Structure 1
Amino acid sequence: MILAVAVATRIVAWWDPVAHVDDQFYLLAGEELLNGRWPYLDIWDRKPLGLFLLYAGIAWISDGSILGLNLVGTAFAAATALVIRQIALRFASATSATLAAVAYLLAMPVFGGQTGQSPVFYNLLIAGAAWLMFRASDQDRAGSIRRHAMGAMLLCGLAMTIKQISFIEGAYFGLAFLWMLKRNGCGRGAVALTGAAMVVVALLPTLLCLAGYAVAGEAALGEFVYANYVSIFERRGWRLLAKVAGAAYFILFLLPLIGMGGLGAVHRWRAQPHDIGQKLLLGWIAAALLGYLGVPAFFDHYTLPFLVPLCISAATAFDRSSRWLLFIGVAGFYLVEGTPIDWRLHQRQAAQYEHIRRTIDQARRGGCVYVADGPSRIYIDFPDCRPSRYLFPDHLVLITEAGAVGVDTVTEVSRILAQRPAVVVTRAAAKGRRMPEIQALLSRSMAENYRPILITPPGYSKSVDDVTIWQRRDLAPPNR
């Protein structure tokens, strides 16, 4: 049933190549990696290497198919829901634990998790580590707790190679294991030694990634360190109004699950105030929330890790006599919101992108394409030319990225335009989204050297609406 719900809540996006701006780029980076172009050196981003290795594997087994990506994402989502159910069985009946798993799948699309966002994958690893933590809490032997701890730390270490912020939940799990050892009668020395071993295990996947770049030379290692651990602190924050809007989105759309999770916590506390499991769950919820708050910018998919412990806590609320009324309320809220069942949006986006792709194919006359702002998926469909290593458009045009990508973005955009690409793709931007210098540079270059050959209508798509395709003036216009 969980697998059926996973499919039902995600199938509408399976054939949409531009369902999410990030997924497009991750798949592009994965294909570039298969072609020998390395993250940070040949294609820049600040995500960890594990994410791109994962996407390279997906691109390899699916031949770059968007359907293949979504099938893998669906499998990960369903597997995570199964682990949620397994953990929830500790706090609720089998029926209520299943409802908690289904609630996770219903909520995911609303928070950008309908396709292949990074939490879709690393949530499984974090949930697996949490399952080991809860299992260890039932053990009365230090050796068994240590074995569970090492397995959990390895899973957390793998999660950190997909998204760095997952280290907050991993750190919480580590402290929880040490607390369990101390509670079990272990001395300070043994606890400290175990803690050191846990840190080594958790860092091992990242150290292996770092070693690969170190072997490639000092410059490669410098690029790896800057992209992964320095650039994020150089990003500018959005204005206060944007942050308030993000907080409001978080509260509004999470309200049903926050209510159910809170209700479940109250019931557990009243029934078993000294139960170690419910204390561990409350700590996990706090750690997941800290991970969400620890990211200065707001994007909807940053909420996805918080759903996992929240849905587990909600299982206790579903264990009441009114379980079906409560569950129908939660399910109805996320279905009425529309994202899980919006066939029309994804069909429209797929058709619009195909129109854009065909227009570019006719207009470029064998030349290069530069996506200044728009779907990075275009680079997958036209792989013969790369105008820059910054193939995720936002890295060069967003005002928040200025001074945070390792180059002067105005200089880099000027360099790209000086190459006279055959086709340039731009997209209408809200005021304050781009640097004024880059906006002026693009406007001047398009007016002097290019002509618009396609302007897509405005709408709700973040990839294909309000897009303009510009062709260099000296090229023959595309066939109509």
Structure 2
Amino acid sequence: MSFIVTKTSLQNVTAFYSHFFRKYSQSAVPLLLLVWSVINRAPTFGNPLVHIDEQFYLFGGGQVLEGDLPYIQFWDRKPVGLFLLYAFFHLFGTYRVLAYQLGAVLSVWGTAWLLFRMALTIAPRAGAMVSAMLYIVWLDLSGGEGGQSPVFYTLPVTGAMALILFRIVLPKEPATSLRTTGTQAMALIGLALQIKYTVVFEGVALGLYLIWSSHINGRTFLQIAADCACWIGAAVLPTVLVAVFYQVIGYGHQWVFANIVSIFLRGHPSPSDLTQMKMKMLRVAAPLLVGLGVASRFILLAPRNRAGVFLAIWVFAACGGVIIMGGWYYHYALPAYAPLAIMSAPLWRYDAGRIWLIVLVLVGVCASQNRLYRHQLQDGNLRTYRAMLNAMKNPAGCVFIYQGPPILYDTPHWCGVTDHPFPGHFNEKVEINATGFDPREAIKRIFLKRPRYIVSKSPAWSGENMEIRKILYQKLDLSYRKIFVFHGHKTDTEIFELKD
């Protein structure tokens, strides 16, 4: 009996939902999506300890404003554009953490609005709305609740896909519009590449689709070649400009190593760790893959469904990129959620599909908010951050972060004890030969500079470089005393101070 009541209730919800969006969605959708974005991400607002990556990006943005350059004064393999983006957020001073988080909200909102518009080409309004809502929720399930790079670069990628969908795929435009529209779309891909290079998979898929479109529109070989030159040029121009800049100032080799070579020098996680992470990614993505299966059937059976075929290409390009890059971290799945969310929209055409989507949204919200809560229990919040700063009482004391929140570098305690400030370059076993420096010698040189504070975590994790950890803790036992501990539910964050 309880199942019947539950099913009836869900059917009533889906009926109201469908009626509302048939009548009011044109004006209500943008506002509702903004409110939905804020509600789902609000627990992170003002928290400096959301994720180690975005903490480092914010620190790097601040260093850029100070005149330091990526790959020279501070090393990382992320594109310059990402640090320039965070340099803008850093301009907000004491509100810089909230600034990047609100910037992420606006990026998610813009992406969701585009997804809604694109989903309308293959689904009813209510289904399109649910797909946009799912995208927002699923980001929180995979570490995208803050300012991870896919949160920002998915907006220009979605914009590029929307340009081609609405100007090339759907209308029967003259072939001459291909070059201009394709160039605009590939320029957006080029901007996204300067946030993270994994966009290349979607960029290549989009480029191949443009070439095919050019061919079926009867353009000559020379015309297609000219089209390709424009499209490729637009996509690579931002990256080429950055490379030329580094070459001109005499650091071209450093740029090439950081942006191209180093990623191929990384080691590999243990098979057990890799399998565990892949299974975690698959469990989170699986509910959206159900929608992909149904949508694929709908697309294949529907005659001349050009929009569906194009969106399917985007899905397989994004998912292919995730598979090729591997299951290093759970947030590597984030780029796939935008196209996968769109592919869930056609489920609204079926009674069971409507119930499935409503349940998916409700369960997804509960699971994601629970995850955000557990994340704060593990890594802390604004109160934890302030307690860490209060423990580091000497304002002139330098800090070295072996393992812990890099946001502590974005304080007066930073004094450049290393040009490799990202903690993972010291403590991750897979990075031993991939960063252009020997962490064993580097950590010994750091000790010679006698940093007053050292930040670490206990216990060691499975992928840790145990040789470096041994060197570190020998020095800590000899010359440092523990002054602060934050007890997470899995690991403890510890701060040590020089004894003398």
Q: Give the alignment's TM-score, normalised by structure 2.
A: 0.89
Aligned to 1:438: 468
Q: Which range moved further: 423-432 or 393-402? A: 423-432
- Alignment of 1:422 with 2:422, yes or no, is no
Query: Cα deviations across residues 255-296 of structure 1 (Å, max 9, x unaligned)?
Result: 111112221221222223x32222222221111111101214
Aligned to 2:240: 207
Q: Matches of 1:366 and 1:431 in 2, distance apart? A: 31
Q: Matches of 1:400 and 1:408 in 2, distance apart? A: 13
Using the TM superposition, give the Cα deviation of residue 160 of structure 1 relative to its aligned residue in structure 2, in angstroms.
0.6
Q: Does the 8 Å CA contact 2:62/2:87 hold for their aligned counterparts?
A: yes
Aligned to 2:25: none
Q: Matches of 1:292 and 1:108 in 2, distance apart? A: 15
Note the 1:78-227 alignment, pairs <5 A: 78-135=109-166, 136-137=168-169, 138-217=171-250, 220-227=251-258
Q: Does the 8 Å CA contact 2:396/2:412 hold for their aligned counterparts?
A: no
Q: Which range moved further: 334-343 or 225-234? A: 334-343
Using the TM superposition, give the Cα deviation of residue 94 of structure 1 relative to its aligned residue in structure 2, in angstroms.
1.9
Note the 1:369-384 alignment, pairs <5 A: 369-384=399-414
Using the TM superposition, give the Cα deviation of residue 443 of structure 1 relative to its aligned residue in structure 2, in angstroms.
1.3
Amino acid at match of 1:466: D
Note the 1:153-302 alignment, pairs <5 A: 153-217=186-250, 220-272=251-303, 274-302=304-332
Using the TM superposition, give the Cα deviation of residue 127 of structure 1 relative to its aligned residue in structure 2, in angstroms.
0.4
- Secondary structure in structure 1 of the residue aligned to 2:482: strand
Aligned to 1:330: 360
- Alignment of 1:471 with 2:478, yes or no, is no
- 1:402 pairs with 426, 429, 432, which one? 432
Amino acid at match of 1:337: A
Identity %: 29
- Secondary structure in structure 1 of the residue aligned to 2:325: coil
Q: Which range moved further: 84-93 or 424-433? A: 424-433
Q: Matches of 2:323 and 2:354 in 1, distance apart? A: 32
Q: Matches of 1:139 and 1:57 in 2, distance apart? A: 41
Using the TM superposition, give the Cα deviation of residue 199 of structure 1 relative to its aligned residue in structure 2, in angstroms.
0.8
Query: Cα deviations across residues 169-228 of structure 1 (Å, max 9, x unaligned)?
Result: 0010011011111111112221122112211111001011112212211xx111111111
Using the TM superposition, give the Cα deviation of residue 297 of structure 1 relative to its aligned residue in structure 2, in angstroms.
4.8
Using the TM superposition, give the Cα deviation of residue 433 of structure 1 relative to its aligned residue in structure 2, in angstroms.
2.5
Alpha carbons of structure 1 residues 383 and 139: separation in structure 2 relative to 1, 3 Å: farther
Q: Matches of 1:412 and 1:344 in 2, distance apart? A: 34
Amino acid at match of 2:217: N
Using the TM superposition, give the Cα deviation of residue 85 of structure 1 relative to its aligned residue in structure 2, in angstroms.
0.8
Amino acid at match of 2:495: I
- Secondary structure in structure 1 of the residue aligned to 2:495: strand
Unaligned stretches of 5+ in structure 2? 1-31
Q: Does the 8 Å CA contact 2:140/2:372 hold for their aligned counterparts?
A: no
Q: Which range moved further: 315-324 or 371-380? A: 315-324
Q: Which range moved further: 289-298 or 321-330? A: 321-330
- Secondary structure in structure 2 of the residue aligned to 1:354: helix
Q: Which range moved further: 330-339 or 398-407? A: 330-339
Note the 1:317-356 alignment, pairs <5 A: 317-339=347-369, 342=372, 346=376, 348-356=380-388
Alpha carbons of structure 1 residues 40 and 64: separation in structure 2 relative to 1, 3 Å: farther
Q: Matches of 1:123 and 1:31 in 2, distance apart? A: 24
Using the TM superposition, give the Cα deviation of residue 86 of structure 1 relative to its aligned residue in structure 2, in angstroms.
1.2
Q: Which range moved further: 200-209 or 277-286? A: 277-286
Q: Matches of 2:86 and 2:181 in 1, distance apart? A: 28
Alpha carbons of structure 1 residues 34 and 424: separation in structure 2 relative to 1, 3 Å: same
Q: Give the alignment's TM-score, normalised by structure 1.
A: 0.93
Amino acid at match of 1:471: E
- 1:20 pairs with 51, 63, 67, which one? 51
Q: Matches of 1:84 and 1:141 in 2, distance apart? A: 26
Amino acid at match of 2:236: L
Q: Which range moved further: 113-122 or 239-248? A: 239-248
Alpha carbons of structure 1 residues 341 and 249: separation in structure 2 relative to 1, 3 Å: closer
Q: Matches of 2:234 and 2:395 in 1, distance apart? A: 52
Aligned residues: 465
Aligned CA RMSD, in angstroms, stands at: 1.7
Alpha carbons of structure 1 residues 154 and 63: separation in structure 2 relative to 1, 3 Å: farther
- Secondary structure in structure 1 of the residue aligned to 2:176: helix
- 1:57 pairs with 88, 91, 94, which one? 88
Amino acid at match of 1:397: N
Using the TM superposition, give the Cα deviation of residue 349 of structure 1 relative to its aligned residue in structure 2, in angstroms.
2.7
Aligned to 2:390: 358
Alpha carbons of structure 1 residues 165 and 180: separation in structure 2 relative to 1, 3 Å: same
Q: Which range moved further: 289-298 or 164-173? A: 289-298
- Secondary structure in structure 1 of the residue aligned to 2:450: coil
Q: Does the 8 Å CA contact 1:13/1:343 hold for their aligned counterparts?
A: no
Using the TM superposition, give the Cα deviation of residue 77 of structure 1 relative to its aligned residue in structure 2, in angstroms.
0.3
- Alignment of 1:457 with 2:487, yes or no, is yes
Using the TM superposition, give the Cα deviation of residue 126 of structure 1 relative to its aligned residue in structure 2, in angstroms.
0.6
Q: Which range moved further: 381-390 or 419-428? A: 381-390
Q: Does the 8 Å CA contact 1:139/1:145 hold for their aligned counterparts?
A: no
Q: Matches of 2:428 and 2:435 in 1, distance apart? A: 11
Q: Matches of 1:174 and 1:389 in 2, distance apart? A: 38
Amino acid at match of 2:483: I
- Alignment of 1:71 with 2:102, yes or no, is yes
- Alignment of 1:307 with 2:341, yes or no, is no
